[in-house]
A = this chain, B = another copy of it.
Amino acid sequence: MVEYQANILDRVFAAVADPTRRAILASLARKPATVTEIARPFPVSLNAISKHILVLERAGLIRREVVGREHHCSLDPAPLRKASAWIAHYRNFWNVRLDALERHVIARKKRAERMHGRSDRRDE
């Protein structure tokens, strides 16, 4: 089960590590489309886009329905949920970092104010 999850995460993260594939997902989030329609705005060959779609399909991010000669693709966001859950484990960690940063900034500000206070007294 853990291995199965790992496999999904490997494929999902590898799939979204490419800007063209992320753009394809963004386009399908707006509306489902055929492979030809998906490929239209990209300055690369239909073959290159087909390969990208295959990677997204294997990651479970795209569903494909073949109607006659047309391949209709739609977004399946479910695997992104798993990716999000994995990242969520680190959310506390970056919040702690932000808290530490905030404390650091406040401490620095107080130190600066104390220093400033002292130099004021020296000026008197």
List chain A positions with a Cβ less than 8 A from chain B: 6, 9-11, 13-14, 16-19, 22, 25-26, 29, 75, 77-78, 80-81, 83-84, 86-91, 93-94, 97
Other-chain residue from B17, B78, B84 in contact with A17 (beta carbon distance below 8 A): B17
Give A6 to B23 CA distance when docked, in angstroms.
Answer: 11
The interface residues of chain A, by DSSP majority, are classed as helix
Complex interface: chain B residues within 8 A of A77 (CB)? 90, 93-94, 97
**In the complex, which of the residues B16, B18, B88 contacts A84, with contact meaning CB atoms closer than 8 Å?**
B88
A88 to B85, CA, bound (A): 11
12 additional contacts (CB under 8 A) given A77-B97, A84-B84: A9-B16, A9-B17, A9-B19, A10-B17, A13-B13, A13-B14, A14-B17, A16-B86, A29-B89, A75-B93, A83-B87, A84-B88
Flag if B90 contacts A80 (CB, 8 Å). yes
In the bound complex, CA of A81 to CA of B84 (Å): 10
- Chain B residue numbers with a CB within 8 Å of A84 are 84, 87-88, 91
9 closest Cβ pairs, A-B complex: A13-B17, A14-B17, A77-B94, A77-B90, A77-B93, A6-B19, A84-B87, A13-B13, A80-B90
